[in-house]
Structure 1
Amino acid sequence: MTFRDKTVIVTGAGRGIGRGIAKAFAEKGAQVVIAEVNREEGEKTVSEITEIGGIAMFVSCDVSREEEIAAMVQKTVSAYGNIDVLINNAGIANPHTASFYELGADEWDKVMNTNARGCFLTSREAAKVMRDNPDGGTIINISSTRALMSEPDTEAYAASKGAISALTHAMAVTLGRDGITVNCILPGWIETGDYSTLRESDHDQHPAGRVGVPEDIAKACLYLADPDNRFVTGAQLVIDGGMTRKMIYVPD
């Protein structure tokens, strides 16, 4: 599998899952655009990619701002001439500053505008470029298993991820006529901090026997972006070590 001479945009690639995805595509030869609101973190990802001989460019972008998305896409095309793959990874978690009964409209809108609306707007702008590609394009949305299950007081985050999952199949149907595939990945517990601090009980919760790492999501992105897999579109790929399939039963 190679992505040499392919242009890949990864939003929110300054750390965690986004950084892992960006590095994976760079290792496969892609020229990667790090679309990130935090300059320091974005430039760190670029530095790590260039250190391994990869090609990467940082572009400041807040995906909750339509004008910044359009500018980011324009800079990408100006620099590399094309867009082949878009990974919509940028997002923020539920603020956790208020319970369900105190969650305000401003907090709700901030999460929805960044996660769901940002995913739509970035896809729309990238698709305008992709539809003119001879080989079409690929959009991969990073949703969450929170679209399927929840903890208390996470309504805004769960709703935003559910919206991304629904948006995926809608865009797959619309953009299929332009040769663009659209899929989403639903990560479970992906540890982006110090993996060594995890407990044995953390790993035991997963039928796969361990907590996930960013590379697990990156490998799935490589699969979905591979031109040989263009029959896969509108799909939701749950990557959680089997955690959402494990029945919890507490006997008396």
Structure 2
Amino acid sequence: MENRVVLVTGGANGIGKGIANYLAKKMLVIAADIDENAGFQLVSENPLVRFKQLDVTSEQQISSLIDEIKYQHGRLDAVVNNAAIANPYNAPLHQLDVYDWNKALAVNLTAPMLMAKHTVSLLRDTKGCIVNIASTRAIQSESNTEAYSASKGGIVALTHSLAVSVGPDVRVNCISPGWIHTTDELLRDIDHQQHLVGRVGQVQDIASMVGYLISEEAGFITGQNFVIDGGMTKKMIYSE
């Protein structure tokens, strides 16, 4: 495990930061993020993580980063496609600008495809794997979330499509987080109590699943979407 090299996109903030810190305990983690200041902060907090600034919408930057990883480390064992525009809300449909729609798709959906395209050769050599981070919004929605929901639904479909295309050498799976608390904001009792498990999700809930999916213990799992949401998507809720 110590010789393994893992790339985490969006790895300097939120869930991605938690994944990077969790995996760095056992393997070399390269956290790629467009936020340079957050990247420097991540490395200052955890010197075991290496940071690379990356705009995931740039195929040229992705290609250059993968070439650098190949040159410096000679291998790549896993890719965690976590980078995304986190805000799920867009303007009401009649005001939705196609620029905002296309930007959400570029970051949330096209980027994981490009990352798979440029890493598959290295991943084949190591019998590696890809983990895509989607969302429970891929299977349920609120008003005015068309761009985000569509992009995350696309991630789920992209996952099983890639699993067919790159198997058996490379496994591809997907995680759909529900409400994961990533800030210092205080939560209310009702926030926790509405979940079937009695609490809001924590970053480690997602990170530990990533750790499992990229391990040899998950060698028979591919093309799957794992919903980690404290049971919220299983509740039937009607207004009384």
TM-score (norm 1): 0.92
* Residues 1:140 and 2:131 aligned together: yes
Q: What is residue 47 of structure 1 aligned with on the other side?
A: 44
Q: What is residue 119 of structure 1 aligned with on the other side?
A: 112
Deviation at 1:225, TM superposition (A): 0.6
Alpha-carbon distance in structure 2 between the residues aligned to 1:222 and 1:155: 31
Deviation at 1:25, TM superposition (A): 0.6
SS of alignment partner, residue 101 of structure 1? helix
Q: What is residue 9 of structure 1 aligned with on the other side?
A: 7
Q: Is the 8 A contact 2:89 2:148 kept in 1?
A: no
**One-letter code of the match for 1:243?**
M
Q: What is residue 182 of structure 2 aligned with on the other side?
A: 192
Within the candidate set 202, 210, 215, 2:199 is matched to: 210
Q: Gaps (5+ residues) in structure 1?
A: none
* Residues 1:100 and 2:86 aligned together: no
What is the total number of aligned residue pairs between the two structures? Answer: 240
Q: Is the 8 A contact 2:10 2:34 kept in 1?
A: yes
Alpha-carbon distance in structure 1 between the residues aligned to 2:33 and 2:161: 26
Within the candidate set 68, 86, 92, 2:79 is matched to: 86
Deviation at 1:249, TM superposition (A): 2.9
* Residues 1:250 and 2:210 aligned together: no
Alpha-carbon distance in structure 2 between the residues aligned to 1:95 and 1:176: 32
Deviation at 1:94, TM superposition (A): 4.9
Q: Is the 8 A contact 2:90 2:145 kept in 1?
A: no
Give the 3 Å change call, closer, same or farther, for CA 70–215 of structure 1 in structure 2: same
RMSD of equivalent CA atoms: 1.3
TM-score (norm 2): 0.96
**One-letter code of the match for 2:132?**
N
Deviation at 1:194, TM superposition (A): 1.5
Deviation at 1:93, TM superposition (A): 3.4
Q: What is residue 128 of structure 1 aligned with on the other side?
A: 121
Q: Is the 8 A contact 1:191 1:213 kept in 2?
A: yes
Q: Is the 8 A contact 2:90 2:146 kept in 1?
A: no
Deviation at 1:60, TM superposition (A): 1.2
The one-character-per-residue Cα deviations of 1:111-164 (angstroms, maximum 9, x if unpaired) are 00011000100111111211123xx10100000000001111010000000000
Q: What is residue 155 of structure 1 aligned with on the other side?
A: 146
Q: Percent identity?
A: 44
* Residues 1:173 and 2:167 aligned together: no
Deviation at 1:95, TM superposition (A): 6.9
SS of alignment partner, residue 27 of structure 1? coil
SS of alignment partner, residue 163 of structure 2? helix
Deviation at 1:191, TM superposition (A): 0.8
